[in-house]
Structure 1
């Protein structure tokens, strides 16, 4: 089979999966194809009083002592999403020996900026204090998010006030991972996002790019080259350059066969051929001091 033919088939398959992921209950399809033999799951743990302040823990079946911990926040424009949709993320991380925590957080219209950051910090604080009871090592704590969730973890990692309110600091985070994150997006063009950030009076301090400092944890930033929702050059590239400018270790990766949505879906077993997202996450967690 020629390389050209393989490329055509690959692009066709990617297009088909992209259609599935934008059509009918896509994450349920991926989760239905995800094995459950690689992890033990503890569900519905409250980290706050609101029903949305709840998280699930995915533990490796055979965890090594002091397993690293990744707290994951999903995207959805801060107005949609559920941790139950991301079983495939928990499985992916657990399959690499990582204890995964997947947290819900309050969404618009229940709350606006910055309340979902308060929730994120509380989820991280709960994890730091309790994950040892589930075999995880709080001294090896990482944050990870996709899209709006990547924004959330960027703000937690870069703007110390949020973790400070939860009894922690960015120094407690060994590193953070952003997938297709919006880090510098004013003025807001997406009408669904505008009310979340009080458009047209969106506060400049809401932007992660304005909180870069040399105290920031190491970062792994990934994006799809063809992302039409979150500009990868301005957001991923811009933040990576800002971090390098203050000598913070940062790895910046772009993938050609993924879209904004399929970048996170590439963590799932059926779609790992799209991009080595899981390999890069695992390597980052393993190698970051």
Structure 2
């Protein structure tokens, strides 16, 4: 995966003034757009789309200090108007192109990224591969913003609004793996952009044949393969570090790729104050050769 991401970065560099078809690029490298975007965001700390924008505006900064008129530069970098180009330019450099042309700056540079695999895997990841038939996730869903660190207050408020009796009722509905009450995220931005909306469902897994109560939301999950990562320790920090390690350690070392689908967290055990917990993180995957078809 590290080599693939470097090939993506090199291709971006060669086509900074062209429209970049990330899906076609991913296919040519034997993987999927979904996996490339998720891994890039996790390892680079920014979405691929944001990296492309920053690199374009880095080059555009040098062009602005040249003799070409601003509309010509805007069109060169794929913008239909000087106004749209100016907004993108200001978002990166903190000043408009006219101001930079007049004053010589400020200019902020986005370096050409290079991914390297470092030896960090001195702590084994407790992982199992599970083949699952089709099932459904049922419960109470809401739309919340994506937050990379700390507790998500929107999710906390959603769960807190449910009466204790509803948790008991949901647990009674659970009849298949992943077992127990689940934290489900779905419809996540492939770039994993901080603040982007996702669907959060507090619920349980049921078999495809089990009836769904009319007052509950449901997510249909097709049959497929899952990587199940077990972690225990301070919550939610241990869970968030496990998320990060899947991208930096597990996927680069194993012949699997992420596939679209919900990510599921099962809380297997926890302290009374929820400061520590034992969790399972379920991520939908496919073999690398399957992703190439």
| TM-score for the superposition, normalised by structure 1 | 0.24
The structure richer in strand per residue is 2
Decide which structure has the larger Cα Rg and report it: 2
Pick 1 or 2: higher relative contact order, CA cutoff 8 A, min separation 6. 2
TM-score (norm 2): 0.23
